[in-house]
């Protein structure tokens, strides 16, 4: 199907490009892209602490924190659900704050303290939040679960620190752990299996125990 | 084991383990990030490289040529495999659209190349350098426009009839005729399709995310043109599927071809934006429903017609299915018609047929009840049937729809519902309640398993069954524990490996009942082997309990049967015609309370209750989770989920999780589920039926009916977004 004539025409002006394909209308822009690809593939040495352990990596600058964890450190507990900051499956704690690891480059975390789901607890010695998720069946397929758990641990700290949310009624009063607050603050973590009702119960139990 | 007569009393009836609230045995792995999903297989001996997919930018036409020179020369690139380069590949039996190969383009984002590089970043960057020259053709993308060209599908039962619908409808005292639409929907499970493929000579291992191991294995072998015996599929953990992982997908094919070309193990994950247009979706429907009734509320005539579209060679959405069985009425007809559309492949999504069918039917029933001046719960009860209405000689195996409705009405406080739409207001909120029946057929699929007893008394179950979040690991462990009289923690369960006996797999809500019935069959065999080994005569009179085998006064430790070598038994459950002589279905009732903001038209779900009558509940924890998850998906279907079609260029525009809106935490209140205590001896030795899809069927209509009760605005076009409500809301002073 590849006739040279067709190729010629396409080189001049008939190229159609897909969403995943770059429109290239001339040889000039083609070389531009090659240059930028080469430039972008430079790497940086980064060192940070992951789950209490000092880690050093030489990484392509384009590597997200998520891929650094999953593909380079083989900490695959942190999940990739969208790679676009739309689902929360990749939630980890960076210096104690929750972050979508797919939306941030690894090189931006030099010297930081990263905690992943593997760092919270393990089978046999579960973190209380992990145990509460098991107890309340706060998951089904389990793919959103590490993100839900990391997110909920950090979320309770945010309430403790009196950081208000969209549903906080009185900004002067201390923030409270209510189902409405939990649901609002956890809404960045999608669960397509629909375990929300159980997740809120798990978090509520832990929040109550803490208070 | 052949199951062709109703189940008698058997060891499962003891209910010491089966039916108990046992937490998921895979829970600690899943909550600590130790459960290993497809893309996460790590073998320090294998250096994986990365494949990145390139998808078609047109919906229909042909590839004239592809220029991959820039991609090939990009840093780190090891191989580029193109669709036109590889030529036509054989299509798997279960796919409608081809997954890869050749120059024909059948839909947008169809895979046309995979670029392999040392790192993910390099592969992704190089994939963007592939240039394609297309010969684009005009396609049909608009169901409404193509409706009149729809034809009667060749397969299945596109038409059904009993009595004389036309005459009965004509003369009915009260008549109703309305049309509803449901949009294309996306499974949107949280784990995108992903595969790792590794060749060892001519043998291929693929670690993937599949609901149906054997279907994938067969179709992958067909596509690659190799012997099925050479293909090994692994899928022990699956991050959700909902039907999207029933059939072989492009990631597995691309990984296998790329690994062959690059001579290295290759990982391929579909990027999230590919899920909507590269894979399958639930097709949109147009549904017309006509009901005729006596003034006393008895239905005399009911008709349901449905139109949907698919690629050539595809099938219809069988949205009329439940209407053949759910309500009485002597005169009835259904018709299913199929238009050709050049959108991505339409196929099964959770409760195919019934989910969109019930979205329409259960609004129609609500509308008809109102027209008759009857309470919608009562109207449904009046029209209950204990037999297949098309074939009255054929009874339901077990049916307690009425019990579901009555229990639900009482527990939900249905008597407080305002009879007058728009009659209850709390501040800015218009508050309403809605009800819908739930209905989904119970399907029976053969399923095999292997069980091994070792000298420590550990029982190991092996089957290629999958756990897509349904709880298979746990209910299979419970089944083996009950059968062999050991605690659950003495049972090890290995799933999702094509080296194990072929199971029912996960789909059509048949997996729970059928896969455990297969394990039951294997355990019966193992019990016989144990009895023989320990010198007991008749295995039927033995009790397996507390790690012992007993007959009269004689008792022996179970483990002793395996003291010199492990005992292994394998069997499979096969089903006779009990599902022909008896209609097997599952039933329920959904109750929903909503608040609609009087100023903005925003709908909030305030309360939800499901009551289910679905045979024996094998594990109330995991079964309840299936139901609340389905209720959540139903809320999405009611209020927000819609794949928006670009009818010019032929693709789903909102192809990610920001624009395709599934419910989030803030959308879902606390949910209640009640299971009626029942068991169905016609369905299997487990006496269980499906539950996971039942939970979805009817939810969206219950929401729609609640919105109507709250506002007086009837929306017949899903999803019920605020723009469809706002003009009908009362004036805000
Ligand atoms: S993977 Fe990061 S938000 Fe979805
Ligand atoms: S458990 Fe499957 S997406 Fe949440």
pLDDT tens figures, B167-195 = 999 999 999 999 999 999 999 999 999 99
B247 or A25: whose pLDDT is higher?
A: B247
pLDDT in tens, B478-501: 999 999 999 999 999 999 999 999
- Inspect the interface and report whether the beta carbons of A81 and B73 lie closer than 8 Å: no
Lowest pLDDT segment from A27-41, A182-196, B173-187, B584-598: A27-41
- Name A80's Cβ contacts closer than 8 Å, sequence gap at least 6: A66, A67, A70, A89, A90, A102, B39, B192, B269
DSSP A117: H
Q: Is B24 on the interface with A (CB under 8 A)?
A: yes
CA of residue A196 to ligand 1 center, whole Å: 18
- Give contacts of A 32-71 with B, CB under 8 A: 33-34, 37-38, 40-41, 60, 62-63, 67, 70-71
Q: Which residues line ligand 2 (CB under 6 A)?
A: A 139-145, 191-193, 195; B 190, 240, 469
- Cα(B36)–Cα(A108) distance, rounded to whole angstroms? 28
- Name B284's Cβ contacts closer than 8 Å, sequence gap at least 6: B143, B181, B182, B183, B184, B308, B309, B645
Q: Is B665 on the interface with A (CB under 8 A)?
A: yes
- Across the interface, of B57, B75, B188, the residue whose CB is closest to A41 is B75
Helix intervals (H) in B131-228: 143-146, 165-171, 213-224
pLDDT of residue B232: 98
Is residue B472 within 8 Å of residue B691, measured between CB atoms? no
Q: Report which bound ligand comes closest to the CA of B272.
A: 1
Q: Is A122 on the interface with B (CB under 8 A)?
A: yes
Q: Is B269 on the interface with A (CB under 8 A)?
A: yes
- Across the interface, of B37, B53, B670, the residue whose CB is closest to A143 is B37
- Cα(B623)–Cα(B625) distance, rounded to whole angstroms? 5
pLDDT in tens, A16-69: 333 333 333 333 333 334 444 444 459 999 999 999 999 999 999 999 999 999
* Residues of B annotated as catalytic (active site), given as ranges: 693
CA of residue A78 to ligand 2 center, whole Å: 13
Q: Mean of the per-residue pLDDT values for chain B?
A: 97
- Inspect the interface and report whether the beta carbons of B32 and A126 lie closer than 8 Å: yes
From its phi and psi, is residue B670 left (phi > 0), alpha (psi between -120 and 50) or beta?
beta
Cα nearest neighbour of B634 on chain A:
A194
Banded pLDDT at A13 (limits 50, 70, 90): very low
Average pLDDT of the residues in B587-591: 98
Banded pLDDT at B552 (limits 50, 70, 90): confident
pLDDT of residue B537: 81
pLDDT of residue A15: 31
- Inspect the interface and report whether the beta carbons of A192 and B240 lie closer than 8 Å: yes
Contacts of A24 in chain B (CB under 8 A): 70, 129, 131
pLDDT in tens, B315-340: 999 999 999 999 999 999 999 999 99
- Name A4's Cβ contacts closer than 8 Å, sequence gap at least 6: none
pLDDT of residue B730: 84
DSSP B500: S
Q: How far is residue B707 from each of residues B146, B609, B731, measured CA to CA in Å?
A: 31, 16, 17
pLDDT of residue A12: 29
CA of residue A66 to ligand 1 center, whole Å: 9
CATH topology agreement for domains B11-35+445-574 and B396-442+582-728: yes
Average pLDDT of the residues in A98-122: 98
Question: Is ipTM > 0.85 here?
Answer: yes
pLDDT of residue B42: 85
φ/ψ of A162, rounded to 5, equals: 65, 30
Average pLDDT of the residues in B447-454: 98
Tokens 């205590």, residue located: B677
Taking the CA of residue A190 and the nearest CA in chain B, the distance in Å comes to 6
Q: What residue's CA is closest to ligand 2, atom 4?
A: A191
Taking the CA of residue A27 and the nearest CA in chain B, the distance in Å comes to 11
pLDDT of residue B733: 55
Tokens 């039951």, residue located: B520
Whether a cis peptide bond, with omega within 30° of 0, leads into B719 is yes
pLDDT of residue A24: 33
CATH number of B11-35+445-574: 3.30.365.10
pLDDT of residue B43: 80
Q: How many CA atoms lie within 13 A of A115 on its CB side?
A: 15
- Cα(B300)–Cα(A172) distance, rounded to whole angstroms? 63
CB pairs under 8 A between A and B: 287
- Across the interface, of B23, B26, B664, the residue whose CB is closest to A187 is B664
Task: Name the nearest CA neighbour of B544 among B533, B530, B532, B564.
Answer: B530
Percent of chain B with pLDDT over 70: 100
Lowest pLDDT segment from A32-36, B196-200, B353-357, B375-379: A32-36
Average pLDDT of the residues in B436-460: 97
One of 3.50.50.60, 3.40.50.1950, 3.40.120.10, 3.30.365.10 is the CATH number of B396-442+582-728, namely: 3.30.365.10
- Beta strands B387-388; B491-494: pairing state: unpaired
Q: Which residues line ligand 1 (CB under 6 A)?
A: A 80-83, 85-90, 100, 102
- Inspect the interface and report whether the beta carbons of A82 and B657 lie closer than 8 Å: yes
pTM: 0.94
- Cα(B611)–Cα(B231) distance, rounded to whole angstroms? 43
- Cα(B87)–Cα(B82) distance, rounded to whole angstroms? 9
- Cα(B524)–Cα(B511) distance, rounded to whole angstroms? 20
Per-domain boundaries in chain B: 11-35+445-574, 396-442+582-728
- Inspect the interface and report whether the beta carbons of B629 and A87 lie closer than 8 Å: no
CA of residue A85 to ligand 1 center, whole Å: 4
Average pLDDT of the residues in A104-125: 97
- Across the interface, of A41, A75, A195, the residue whose CB is closest to B122 is A41
The three-state (H, E, C) secondary structure of B410-430, written as one string: HHHCHHHCCCCCCCCEECCEE
Is residue B669 within 8 Å of residue B164, measured between CB atoms? no
Cα nearest neighbour of B625 on chain A:
A195
pLDDT in tens, B266-323: 999 999 999 999 999 999 999 999 999 999 999 999 999 999 999 999 999 999 999 9
pLDDT of residue A41: 56
pLDDT in tens, B106-136: 999 999 999 999 999 999 999 999 999 999 9
pLDDT of residue A31: 38
pLDDT of residue B538: 76
- Cα(B282)–Cα(B244) distance, rounded to whole angstroms? 9
- Give contacts of B 73-92 with A, CB under 8 A: 73-76, 84
Beta bridge partners of B207: B196, B234
- Give contacts of B 606-635 with A, CB under 8 A: 621-622, 624-626, 628-633
pLDDT in tens, B361-376: 999 999 999 999 999 9
CA of residue A53 to ligand 2 center, whole Å: 29
pLDDT of residue A210: 57
- Cα(B702)–Cα(B340) distance, rounded to whole angstroms? 31
């Amino acid at each position: 199907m590849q006739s040279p004539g067709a190729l010629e025409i396409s080189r001049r002006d008939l190229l159609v490009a897909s969403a995943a394909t770059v429109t290239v209308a001339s040889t000039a822009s083609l070389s531009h892209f090659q240059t930028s690809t080469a430039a972008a593939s430079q790497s940086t040495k980064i060192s940070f602490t992951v789950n209490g352990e000092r880690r050093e990596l030489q990484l392509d600058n384009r590597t997200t924190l998520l891929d650094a964890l999953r593909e380079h450190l083989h900490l695959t507990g942190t999940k990739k659900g969208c790679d676009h900051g739309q689902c929360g499956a990749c939630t980890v704690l960076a210096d104690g704050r929750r972050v979508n690891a797919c939306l941030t480059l690894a090189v931006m975390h030099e010297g930081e303290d990263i905690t992943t789901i593997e760092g919270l607890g393990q089978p046999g010695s579960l973190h209380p939040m992990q145990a509460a998720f098991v107890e309340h069946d706060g998951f089904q397929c389990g793919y959103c679960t590490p993100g839900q758990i990391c997110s909920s641990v950090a979320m309770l700290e945010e309430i403790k620190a009196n950081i208000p949310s969209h549903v906080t009624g009185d900004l002067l009063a201390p923030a409270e752990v209510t189902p409405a607050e939990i649901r609002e603050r956890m809404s960045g973590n999608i669960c397509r299996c629909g375990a929300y009702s159980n997740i809120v119960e798990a978090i509520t139990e832990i929040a109550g125990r803490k208070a | 084991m052949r199951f062709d007569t109703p189940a008698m009393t058997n060891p499962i009836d003891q209910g010491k383990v089966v039916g108990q609230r046992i937490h998921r045995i895979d829970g600690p792995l899943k909550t600590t990030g130790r459960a290993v999903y497809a893309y996460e297989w790590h073998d320090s001996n294998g250096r994986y490289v990365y494949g990145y997919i390139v998808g078609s930018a047109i919906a229909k036409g042909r590839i004239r040529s592809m220029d991959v020179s820039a991609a090939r020369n990009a840093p780190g690139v090891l191989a580029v495999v193109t669709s036109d380069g590889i030529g036509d590949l054989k299509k798997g039996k279960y796919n409608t659209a081809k997954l890869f190969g050749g120059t024909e383009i059948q839909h947008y984002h169809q895979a046309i190349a995979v670029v392999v590089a040392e790192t993910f970043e390099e592969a992704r960057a190089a994939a963007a350098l592939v240039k394609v020259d297309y010969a684009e053709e005009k396609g049909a993308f608009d169901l409404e426009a193509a409706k009149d060209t729809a034809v009667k599908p060749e397969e299945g039962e596109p038409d059904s009839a009993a009595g004389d619908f036309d005459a009965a409808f004509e003369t009915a005292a009260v008549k109703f005729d309305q049309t509803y639409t449901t949009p294309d929907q996306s499974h949107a499970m949280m784990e995108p399709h992903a595969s790792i493929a590794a060749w060892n000579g001519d043998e291929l291992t693929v670690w993937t995310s599949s609901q149906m191991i054997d279907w994938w294995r067969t179709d992958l072998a067909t596509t690659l043109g190799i012997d099925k015996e050479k293909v090994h599929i692994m899928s022990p953990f699956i991050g959700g599927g909902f039907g999207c992982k029933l059939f072989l997908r492009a990631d597995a094919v691309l990984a296998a071809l790329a690994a062959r070309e690059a001579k290295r193990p290759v990982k391929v994950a579909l990027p999230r934006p590919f899920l909507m247009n590269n894979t399958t979706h639930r097709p949109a429907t147009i549904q017309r429903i006509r009901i005729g009734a006596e003034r006393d509320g008895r239905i005399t005539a009911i008709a349901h017609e449905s139109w949907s579209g698919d690629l050539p060679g595809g099938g219809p959405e069988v949205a009329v299915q439940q209407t053949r069985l759910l309500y009485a009425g002597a005169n009835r007809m259904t018709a299913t018609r199929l238009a050709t559309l050049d959108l991505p492949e339409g196929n099964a999504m959770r409760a195919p047929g019934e989910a969109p069918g019930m979205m329409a039917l259960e609004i129609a029933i609500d509308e008809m009840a109102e027209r008759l001046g009857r309470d919608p719960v009562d109207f449904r009860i009046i029209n209950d049937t204990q037999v297949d209405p098309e074939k009255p000689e054929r009874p339901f195996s077990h049916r307690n729809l009425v019990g579901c409705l009555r229990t639900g009405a009482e527990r939900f406080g249905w008597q407080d519902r305002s009879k007058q739409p728009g009659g209850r207001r709390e501040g800015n909120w218009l508050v309403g309640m809605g009800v819908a029946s739930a209905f989904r057929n119970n399907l029976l699929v053969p399923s095999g398993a292997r069980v091994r007893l070792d000298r420590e008394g550990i029982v190991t179950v092996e089957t290629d069954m999958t756990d897509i979040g349904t709880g298979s690991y746990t209910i299979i462990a419970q089944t083996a524990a009950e059968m062999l009289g050991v605690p659950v923690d003495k049972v090890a369960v290995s799933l999702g490996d094509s080296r194990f006996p072929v199971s029912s797999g996960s789909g059509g809500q048949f997996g729970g009942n059928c896969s455990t019935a297969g394990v039951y069959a294997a355990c019966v065999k193992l019990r016989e082997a144990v009895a023989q080994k320990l010198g007991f005569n008749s295995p039927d009179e033995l009790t397996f309990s507390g790690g012992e085998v007993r007959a009269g006064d004689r008792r022996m430790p179970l483990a002793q049967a395996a003291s010199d070598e492990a005992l292994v038994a394998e069997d499979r459950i096969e089903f006779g015609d009990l599902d022909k002589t008896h209609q097997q279905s599952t039933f329920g009732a959904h109750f929903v309370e909503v608040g609609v903001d009087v100023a903005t038209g925003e709908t909030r779900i305030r309360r939800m209750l499901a009551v289910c009558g679905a045979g024996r509940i094998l594990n109330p924890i995991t079964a309840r989770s299936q139901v609340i998850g389905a209720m959540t998906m139903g809320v999405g279907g009611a209020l927000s989920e819609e794949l928006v079609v670009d009818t010019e260029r032929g693709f789903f525009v909102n192809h990610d999780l920001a624009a395709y809106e599934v419910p989030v935490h803030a959308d879902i209140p606390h949910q209640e589920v009640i299971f009626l205590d029942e068991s169905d001896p016609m369905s299997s030795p487990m006496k269980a039926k499906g539950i996971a899809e039942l939970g979805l069927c009817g939810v969206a209509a219950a929401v729609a009916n609640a919105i109507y009760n709250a506002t007086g605005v009837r929306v017949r076009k899903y999803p019920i977004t605020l723009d469809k409500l706002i003009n009908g809301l009362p004036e805000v002073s």
